[in-house]
Every structure is written in structure tokens, then in C-alpha cells.
Chains A and B, each alone.
Chain A
Amino acid sequence: MTEMILREAVTKALREALEDDRVFIMGEDIGAYGGAYAVTRGFLDEFGPERIMDTPISESVIVGAGVGSALAGLRPIVELMTINFSLVAIDQIVNHAAKLRYMSDGQFSVPLVIRTVTGGGGQLAATHSQSFENWYASVPGLKVAVPATPYDALGLFRAAMKDDNPILFAEHSLLYGMRGEVPDEWYEIPFGQADIKRKGNDVTIVAYSRMTHVALQAAAMLEEKGRQAEVIDLRTLRPWDKETVLESVRKTNRVVVVEETWKTGGFSGEIASTIQEEAFDDLDGPVARVGGLDVPAPYNGTLEAAAIPNSERIIKALSDNYGI
């Protein structure tokens, strides 16, 4: 086992990926600058400009050219500096990356990994603090990963590189320094497999990305009140592990779904709806949802924090819906 931070896990994953000659990395400031989040520091010297390509600030062509080079047989990793900027390229992601295999009836595939940085809480204000992975998780043809730990980041990225489908790999901006143990032996994590980060019998908390850690904080607070929470980290949103969630709900009968993005239209709605469709009789009350408040992210730190889910809001939601 080796202890490392999440950034190091992604860097390690990228280095492994580059062992395949068909793989190259393309994005803004990934080379000479070392990466906006330092993930590719040193890569330009180590792998050269033919494989580590600094692009202009042109998100549409970053993804579009990623799609084109994938169609022509390469396995590109493109970086969108943050998921906020993915909106400039959303046409290429949704209309091309996700659909070319289907429209060509399987003649072409798009083995493209789109790495991006998601989430807020860094006082970067409204246009730099968003989380859109739920939007992309609605799109057939895409896969979406949202790792919360170094172990998960490395395992999922290895699976992503073996996958011939277009994948959005969303790393959280505040999790790059998260510490965790990573096995020295090879392992992979398949998409669509959630991880029970904490076992418990009294209540289920479903979360993903940074909210997994907020959920664990809430679980610690619940334990002081004599309640054992089961924390499920989805790890991927498309596909997502419905069975693990339902199995837990059938055991605990109480569930809250937590996510950082705006509650309205959030993926928690999809999860909550599925739970009530398929485990209705196992519920002691309505499925609780805690999401980002329906406001653009303010710059001021106190205001910003109030809009992002925290453990107190999770506790309150459980109290409101289940009286615990």
C-alpha cells in the first residue's frame, strides 16, 4: 500500500495511460504550465510536445478534435480546465462524442476521456463554481465518473482508459489534496459499482464526489446520537449502481441523497425517484434530498458556504423526513 493524495493518483493514472502509444493528452496549460491543478507537472519534459499538447483557449475544438482523433484510431485524453468551461464544448460532448457510435451504427467509436474539474467552495464566484456532471449523466452514449478518493480515482481512470466509450471524468477542485491508501498491485474499478464507505443499519446516505466526505461527517455526528449511517459513494453517475443503493434502503428504510449541484434538476432526483419506484414499501418516509441551494454561487465565503450542502443540513433532512 502507498499513501498518496488524489492529485498524485490521477498523475499516476495518466502516466500509466501514456504507456499506450495511441494515447496523448491535450488541453489548456497542461504542458508548459504544468496543468492548472498541477496534475501534469513535468509531463511535457518527460513525454514531449507530440504527446502533451498545449492548446489555445478553444474548448469546442479541444473536444471536437479529441472526437476526430478518436474516430481515426487514437485514444486521446483531453482536459477541460473546469466543468464550467465545458459549456463552450457541450455541443461536441453531447452531439458528437456521445452519438457518433450510434448514428454510424457502430462503425465508429469514440474512445475519448474528457478530464475536467468540478465543484465550488473556493470563492471563485458564480461562473467558476458549478458542477454539471449531472447534466452529462443524462446523455446516452456518455459515461460519467466522479471519484472522491485517490483509490477510486486511480481505479476508475484505469477502467476509463480500457473503455471505448466517451467518458467524462470529473475530479473535484477541493479534493486534490485528499489523502488515501492505494494498493501497489494492479486493480481497476468498473463503472456502475458504488462503494459503501461506511456500513450502518439505521439510515442510508447516498452521495458522490466531495459530498461523500460531507456525508461521512454527517455519519460521525449521527453516531454520537446513537444512529449508524450507511454511506454509499456512487463513484460513477452513468452508469450508477442502483442495486447497492436499493439493497441498503431495504435494510435501513431511511435514505437521504446528497449532491453539490443545484437541487432542482439534480441527479439526486433521479436517484430518489428510482428508490421510491423500486423500494416504495421499504421506505419509512419520503426519500430526503439535500442539494445546492437554487442560487448562483456568491463570492462571499459565508454566503457561498450556506449554499453548499453540509452535515447539519443532512441531519436536518433526516430529522424532517424520518424523525430521527
Chain B
Amino acid sequence: MLKPANVPDLNKTDLLEYYRQMKLIREFERESERQYTRGNIKGFLHVYNGEEAIAVGAINSLRSDDYVVTHYRDHGQALVRGISSNEVMAELMGKATGCSKGKGGSMHMFSSELNFMGGYAIVGGQLTIAAGIGMAIQYRGDDQVVLCFFGDGAVNEGEFHEAMNLAAIWKLPVVFFCEHNLYGMGASSKETLVMWDSLHEMAAAYGMDRYEVDGNDVLAVSGLMQKVNVDVRAGAGPAFIVAKTYRLRGHSVADPADYRPDEEVKYWASQDPIPRFREWLAEEGIATVEDFEEIDASVEEEVVKAAEFAESSPWPEPGALYEGVYSDRPAEGIPA
């Protein structure tokens, strides 16, 4: 593993926590695939295997009052932000104990308490929402940051342009974070995205601060985000980060990803962020074999418990069908 350019200021506890979180995402996603195959999870399931360093490195750099907006491959982001593995697994199974009580499902994890503003399934649509959250921060004169994830496929949507342009001219506090995994579903970005090889340079068209980073190096992601957050909070305007990474699995559970060349798949398997970080921790003498065994075992136990919790949780009541369509409470503060 290459030494990251900006090694973030992290102690052993933090570093082991990063390892634990990445392992948790990986094991959680493996379990969710098993549950899907068993028929306990329905619809679409887009697992995050291979991209863990991005969620862990980026979200841990945030304050609790910052905001996170993301795409439909959102289980990892939800877990790192702090939604419990119980609630995420229960949501995947459509149970009443899920974080959206079964109303959202895999692609729509939400937590108002954690400022986790949603997983979004219309590719690119979430960028405009992130811009709006940035507007609210600016309107109030606050210094929070909005971290908005999307894939390289989303860059082709018109809403990418609209959101980037508005954020740029109004200097909104948004970090537009592209998880560049070379594919939009089954289409190779090499064939669909003109700037695929220097994607961060697209932000030059918006005059934005822009960065390219190894998305499979959790410390590089963390270090870069820490620097970018400082700038964005200080009013420098939005930033554009392109993190190079890869899906170790297909687009969704239904996708065997035959469209990807073998050499490419092999190469990226060798760049798996978790073994890379583990090796670095061992080489630097930060963690021992016992540390890893302990973490691995606790993660496995957590995931098993989450599956048990979800499987034994109740279904939503039939009446839940109509709950939440409309808000019933009137607004406060308007003169009567």
C-alpha cells in the first residue's frame, strides 16, 4: 500500500475503528447477499463490496451536524454514519423495525437524527437535493458541510450539470464525491463518459476545487476529506472529488457482471481496500494478529445478530400503508 499524501491525524483507536467499519460493511453486505438468495430480501440489492474505504474515510471526517446524501448503494454509508446494523438489515427485510419501518428498503435508508438525508435511486437526482441542503446551511450562516455521493454514471445526467453549476455560482458548501468505479450499471464509462480518464477535470468547467484520490486507500480518502472540509466550511465553495475504485460484485445481486474484462477484475481484486489497510496496519506495527482476530470476530457476531434481529422482527401493520403519505401537523410560526 502506497503511503497516502495527506496522512490524517489518527491514533491507533481511530485506525482500528476504520478497519472495523470496513470489515463490518463487507461482512454485512455478504450477509445481505445470502439473505437475498434465501428470499428474505426482495427487490434490488446493490452491495458496496470494494468501496468501503470511501464510506469509512469520507464520512468519518465529518462532524455530527454535517449532512450526508447518497445513492442507492447506500448500506455502507448508512452503517458508517451510525444507523445500526440491526435497523439496516431489518429495513432490507422490510420489517417494522427497519430505519424507515420497511417503507424505504435497500435504496432508501434515512435517519433524520444522524442528518443522513437519504439513499436515492434516481441516478444523479440527489445532487440537486444536496445543493438545496447547502443552500439551507448558507441561508442560516452556518458552517456545516454536505457530503454528496454519486457514481461516475451519474455524471452523465443533466442534473449533475444543474447542481454543479448552481453550487458553483452560489458557492454552496457541498462536497460532490464521485465513486468512480468505471461503470454505470453495465455500461463502461470508457465508452459513455468522455472525460472518464480525468474525471475530476470536469469540475474545471465550474471553476471548482477538484481532486482525484485512490478510493481504495482509506487514509488517502480521510486525509483529503479533512483538508477539503476545512476549505468548504471556510466558504471556499463546493469541491469535486473523484475517488477511483471498483465494485467487487456486480451492479446488483441480479448482475453477474459478465461485461467486465477478466484482467480488470483481477487487478481490482488485488487492490481490495480491506487487505491493503490490514497489511499497512500490520507493517506499521499499529495492529497485531490478535487485534484483527478480535475485530473480525466481533464484526461477524454483530452481523449474525443483525440477521437474527431482522428475521425475528415483526412485519409492518397493514395500516402502515397509508402512514406518512402526508404530514398532518400544521407548521408553527405562521401568524394565525
**Interface residues, chain A, CB within 8 Å of chain B?**
16, 19-20, 22, 24, 50, 55-56, 58, 60-61, 63-76, 91-92, 95-96, 100-109, 111, 140-141, 143, 161-165, 186
A106 touches B129 (CB 8 A): no
Q: Which residues of A contact B133 (CB under 8 A)?
A: 68-69, 71-72
What distance in Å separates the Cβ of A31 from its nearest Cβ neighbour in chain B? 13
Q: Is B263 an interface residue (CB 8 A)?
A: no
Among the listed stretches B135-143, B233-241, B277-285, B307-315, which one makes contact with chain A, having 4 or more residues with CB under 8 Å of it?
B135-143
Shortest 9 CB-CB distances between A and B: which pairs? A68-B132, A64-B128, A65-B132, A72-B136, A104-B110, A164-B327, A68-B129, A61-B162, A107-B112
| Among candidates B125, B333, B334, residue contacting A96 with C-beta atoms closer than 8 Å | B125
A68 touches B329 (CB 8 A): no
Q: Compute how far the CA of A111 lies from the CA of B332 in the bound complex, rounded to whole angstroms.
A: 12
Q: Compute how far the CA of A75 lies from the CA of B319 in the bound complex, rounded to whole angstroms.
A: 29
Q: Which residues of A contact B132 (CB under 8 A)?
A: 64-72, 76
A103 touches B139 (CB 8 A): no
B110 touches A107 (CB 8 A): yes
A164 touches B333 (CB 8 A): no
| Among candidates A24, A64, A143, residue contacting B159 with C-beta atoms closer than 8 Å | A64
Q: Compute how far the CA of A141 lies from the CA of B325 in the bound complex, rounded to whole angstroms.
A: 5
User: Given that A61-B166, A111-B331, A164-B330 are known contacts, is A106 also in contact with B324, CB under 8 Å in the complex?
Assistant: yes
Among the listed stretches B15-23, B97-105, B186-194, B247-255, which one makes contact with chain A, having 4 or more residues with CB under 8 Å of it?
B97-105
B136 touches A95 (CB 8 A): no
Residue of A nearest to B336 (CB): A186
Q: Is B130 an interface residue (CB 8 A)?
A: yes
Q: Which residues of A contact B230 (CB under 8 A)?
A: none
User: Given that A68-B128, A71-B133, A163-B330 are known contacts, is A103 also in contact with B162, CB under 8 Å in the complex?
Assistant: no
20 A-B pairs within 8 Å (CB atoms) are namely A55-B166, A61-B162, A64-B129, A64-B159, A64-B162, A68-B117, A71-B129, A72-B67, A72-B132, A96-B125, A101-B325, A101-B327, A103-B108, A104-B100, A105-B110, A105-B323, A107-B112, A140-B325, A141-B325, A163-B330
Residue of A nearest to B172 (CB): A65
User: Given that A64-B131, A91-B122, A103-B118 are known contacts, is A165 also in contact with B326, CB under 8 Å in the complex?
Assistant: yes
A-B contact count (CB 8 A): 156
A95 touches B100 (CB 8 A): no
1/0 per residue, CB under 8 A from A, across B294-305: the answer is: 000000000000
Q: Which residues of B contact A61 (CB under 8 A)?
A: 128, 131, 159, 162-163, 165-166
Q: Compute how far the CA of A64 lies from the CA of B131 in the bound complex, rounded to whole angstroms.
A: 8
Q: Which residues of A contact B129 (CB under 8 A)?
A: 64-65, 67-68, 71, 96
1/0 per residue, CB under 8 A from A, across B87-131: the answer is: 000000000000011111000101111000110101001011111
Q: Is B158 an interface residue (CB 8 A)?
A: yes
Q: Compute how far the CA of A110 lies from the CA of B130 in the bound complex, rounded to whole angstroms.
A: 14
Q: Is B286 an interface residue (CB 8 A)?
A: no
Q: Which residues of B contact A103 (CB under 8 A)?
A: 100, 103-104, 108, 110, 118
A22 touches B162 (CB 8 A): no
What distance in Å separates the Cβ of A154 from its nearest Cβ neighbour in chain B? 14
| Known A70-B132, A72-B67; 11 more pairs at CB < 8 Å | A56-B162, A58-B166, A60-B128, A63-B128, A65-B131, A68-B128, A72-B137, A91-B125, A96-B122, A101-B327, A164-B329
**Interface residues, chain B, CB within 8 Å of chain A?**
67, 69, 100-104, 108, 110-113, 117-118, 120, 122, 125, 127-137, 139, 158-159, 162-163, 165-166, 169, 323-327, 329-331, 333-336
Q: Compute how far the CA of A61 lies from the CA of B169 in the bound complex, rounded to whole angstroms.
A: 13
Q: Compute how far the CA of A193 lies from the CA of B43 in the bound complex, rounded to whole angstroms.
A: 39
Q: Which residues of A contact B326 (CB under 8 A)?
A: 101, 141, 143, 165
A24 touches B139 (CB 8 A): yes
Q: Compute how far the CA of A74 lies from the CA of B131 in the bound complex, rounded to whole angstroms.
A: 13
B125 touches A102 (CB 8 A): no
Q: Which residues of B contact A162 (CB under 8 A)?
A: 330-331, 334
What distance in Å separates the Cβ of A64 from its nearest Cβ neighbour in chain B? 2
A75 touches B166 (CB 8 A): no
Q: Compute how far the CA of A74 lies from the CA of B138 in the bound complex, rounded to whole angstroms.
A: 11
Q: Which residues of B contact A186 (CB under 8 A)?
A: 335-336
Q: Which residues of B contact A92 (CB under 8 A)?
A: 125, 128
Residue of A nearest to B334 (CB): A162
What distance in Å separates the Cβ of A293 from its nearest Cβ neighbour in chain B? 33
What distance in Å separates the Cβ of B148 from its nearest Cβ neighbour in chain A? 10
Q: Compute how far the CA of A61 lies from the CA of B167 in the bound complex, rounded to whole angstroms.
A: 10
B112 touches A69 (CB 8 A): no
What distance in Å separates the Cβ of B149 from its nearest Cβ neighbour in chain A? 15
Question: Which of B108, B159, B326 counts the most A-chain CB atoms under 10 A from its CB?
Answer: B326
What distance in Å separates the Cβ of B177 from its nearest Cβ neighbour in chain A? 16
What distance in Å separates the Cβ of A271 from its nearest Cβ neighbour in chain B? 21
Q: Which residues of B contact A143 (CB under 8 A)?
A: 326
User: Given that A60-B128, A64-B125, A65-B131 are known contacts, is A104 also in contact with B325, CB under 8 Å in the complex?
Assistant: no
Q: Compute how far the CA of A55 lies from the CA of B334 in the bound complex, rounded to whole angstroms.
A: 26
What distance in Å separates the Cβ of B271 from its nearest Cβ neighbour in chain A? 34
User: Given that A68-B129, A164-B330 are known contacts, is A105 also in contact with B103, CB under 8 Å in the complex?
Assistant: yes
Q: Which residues of B contact A64 (CB under 8 A)?
A: 125, 127-129, 131-132, 159, 162-163
A56 touches B325 (CB 8 A): no
Q: Compute how far the CA of A100 lies from the CA of B158 in the bound complex, rounded to whole angstroms.
A: 21
Q: Which residues of B contact A100 (CB under 8 A)?
A: 118
What distance in Å separates the Cβ of B281 from its nearest Cβ neighbour in chain A? 36
A71 touches B117 (CB 8 A): yes
Q: Which residues of B contact A165 (CB under 8 A)?
A: 326-327
Q: Compute how far the CA of A196 lies from the CA of B317 in the bound complex, rounded to whole angstroms.
A: 40
Q: Which residues of B contact A161 (CB under 8 A)?
A: 331, 334
What distance in Å separates the Cβ of B328 from its nearest Cβ neighbour in chain A? 8
Residue of B nearest to A106 (CB): B324
User: Given that A102-B325, A105-B323 are known contacts, is A73 also in contact with B118, CB under 8 Å in the complex?
Assistant: no
A68 touches B331 (CB 8 A): no
